[in-house]
Amino acid sequence: MKTKALNETQFLALLEKVLPKATNDPHLATAIYAEVAKEVRLIKSLQSFEKFCEEGGLPDIKPETMADFQQELVNQFGADNVEISPGETGGSIQVAIDLPDRVVKNRVKVDPALAEPEPVKAPFVCFPVVLPEDPELVWVLGRREDLAPEEASRALEKIEAEFWETKKGVELQRGGTDKSFAEFINHVPAGALSDSGLRRHYKDPETLHTLRGSMQTDLQQEL
């Protein structure tokens, strides 16, 4: 039966077990373990780096891309041990890693095809709504195209209910602001709407949708 090789964790655990048997000096055992663990991590980092050079790459040589890549290497090998620079043709990046016993040099390819595609954002469409108590007043909002009108209505009602419980909503009410849909739309942060796929304004026509739920309940309580 073929014996399976020890992984990093198993090897260090074995070393920690054996060292106290090999020396009666606990400080020496700790020092040896720390140095061996450091070398094991270094070997693993070098293997990952070499594999990245062979199979991976960077999408461009923009300053932010270069800075992020260098920081990754610094985290593994130390700030004073890493030097990177674009190749002469711009098709690769030269990397030099200064180790205690040698300098490791390699190239990382630059390939625009490696750039992660930006997520496709659904466009916004018109989302007109009216209140049950005032069907002649139309609020022309916007919703993401992939958000159904019914879902948009529920989201809008939920956002309004949560808004009036926020610090800003409470302050407005204490200052005499009516707890109305008009004041809600006027004061709610745009981010609260956009996070749920909604917008405060839109311009193209669409079928009207009547908002019910919490707003209708509040109206009935007032009556």
Global pTM value: 0.48
Give 184: exposed, middle or buried? Use CB within 10 Å, 0-12, 13-18, 19+: buried
The per-residue b/e assignment along 89-108, b for 16 or more CB within 10 angstroms, e otherwise, is eeebbebebeeeeeeeebeb
Number of domains, the chain? 2
- Condensed to tens digits (0 to 9), the pLDDT of residues 64-113 reads 999 999 999 998 888 888 999 988 777 889 999 998 888 999 999 998 88
Domain that holds residue 78: 8-114
Kindly state whether residues 75 and 93 are assigned to the same domain.
yes
Structure tokens at 86: 């674009």
| Number of neighbouring beta carbons within 10 Å of residue 174 | 8
- 91 within domain boundaries: yes
To the nearest 10°, the Cα dihedral for 156, 162, 167, 172? 50
Domain boundary residue, one of 114, 137, 157: 114
- Condensed to tens digits (0 to 9), the pLDDT of residues 183-220 reads 999 999 988 999 899 998 876 555 556 666 544 444 34
- Which residue's structure tokens are 């205690």? 100
- Which residue's structure tokens are 């920081």? 71
Kindly state whether residues 97 and 157 are assigned to the same domain.
no
Express as a percent the part of the chain with pLDDT over 90.
34
Kindly state whether residues 17 and 90 are assigned to the same domain.
yes
Domain boundary residue, one of 58, 79, 114: 114
Kindly state whether residues 89 and 130 are assigned to the same domain.
no
- Condensed to tens digits (0 to 9), the pLDDT of residues 3-42 reads 566 777 888 888 888 888 888 888 888 889 888 888 888 8
